[in-house]
Amino acid sequence: MSAPRIVLCRPQHPGNIGAAARAMKTMGLSDLRFVGAQRAPAPKDEWMATHGADVLAAARTHATLAEAIADCAAAFALSARPREWSPQVLDVRAAAARAAAFDAPVAFVFGNEAAGLTNDELFACQFLVHIPAHPENSSLNLAQAVQVVCYELYMAQGATVPPMRAEMPATVADLEGLYMHLEEAARASGFMAPGSKLRERWRRLFSRVPALEREEVNILRGLLKALMKK
């Protein structure tokens, strides 16, 4: 999938503009476009952009939406309002999956904070996209809507949570040492009565831990040693 484009039609609030750039940056997107009058530079743009200032600086402004999406294979219009007549309707997750199937630029188009997209802007797009939300208050802030879309686009490309840093796994010998230490502490404290099933119980307990690390076993044995000294 080519990098998707985010198009903001007539955005009003500098904070939303900056926050939208930041949302794009966090999800690896950089192609930001504006439709409408030229924006006057506003300090709050950059305050809200944080590490997305480069996205903001590279953004282009177009006179019309048609100009902003002319080279795109598809454009997805965002709206919280159902329309009696509209292009094909998709939820945001399905829209991200559809966008990922294009081997050409695609655009996600957002309307003005106060009024959303006009009918002409809506019909310039091939898809109408809804972000599912509670029916009593389904309209998201512009920057929040951009963040949701950017996240779904990122996930549609197969993003996963990075694995935790690998540590040395505990060996059988490490575990046996822990079990012996537990038994020693249990006997010394009087907690382990004759005929007790504790040995079987703690082996069963630790067998349910998917992969104990050597450092974790050492922490437990260190704690037992400190408690036994007292």
- Report the alpha-carbon distance of residue 215 to residue 173 in Å, rounded: 14
- Domain boundary residue among 156, 182, 211? 156
Same domain flag for 19 and 115: yes
Same domain flag for 143 and 178: no
State the pLDDT confidence band at 136, using cuts at 50, 70 and 90.
confident
Same domain flag for 145 and 107: yes
CATH number at residue 207: 1.10.8.590
Q: Is 195 contained in some domain?
A: yes
Say what the pLDDT of residue 49 is: 60
Q: Is 162 contained in some domain?
A: no
Say what the pLDDT of residue 37 is: 59
Q: Is 112 contained in some domain?
A: yes
Q: How far is CA 158 from CA 40, 46, 96, 153, in A?
A: 38, 30, 11, 9
Same domain flag for 185 and 145: no
21-35: average pLDDT: 93
- Domain boundary residue among 126, 156, 186? 156
**What is the CA angle 48-146-117, rounded to 5?**
115
162-185: average pLDDT: 88
State the pLDDT confidence band at 137, using cuts at 50, 70 and 90.
confident
- Report the alpha-carbon distance of residue 153 to residue 124 in Å, rounded: 21
Same domain flag for 38 and 83: yes
Q: How far is CA 151 from CA 17, 148, 159, in A?
A: 17, 5, 10
Q: Is the pLDDT of residue 230 over 90?
A: no
Helices 214-229 and 172-189 meet at what angle, rounded to 10?
20
41-61: average pLDDT: 72
Same domain flag for 177 and 137: no
Is the overall model pTM greater than 0.75, yes or no? no
Maximal CA-CA distance, the chain: 86
Say what the pLDDT of residue 140 is: 86
Give pLDDT tens digits for 72-91.
999 999 987 777 667 788 99
- Domain boundary residue among 124, 156, 188? 156
- Report the alpha-carbon distance of residue 137 to residue 212 in Å, rounded: 46
Count structural domains, the chain. Answer: 2
Domain that holds residue 201: 172-229
Burial of 73 (C-beta count, 10 Å sphere; 0-12/13-18/19+): middle
Q: Is 164 contained in some domain?
A: no
What tokens were used for 212?
A: 């104990």
Q: Is 165 contained in some domain?
A: no
- Mean pLDDT (the chain) is 87
Strand, coil or helix: 176: helix
| Helix boundaries (H) for 4-77 | 14-26, 43-49, 53-58, 65-68
104-122: average pLDDT: 91
Same domain flag for 143 and 205: no
Same domain flag for 121 and 212: no
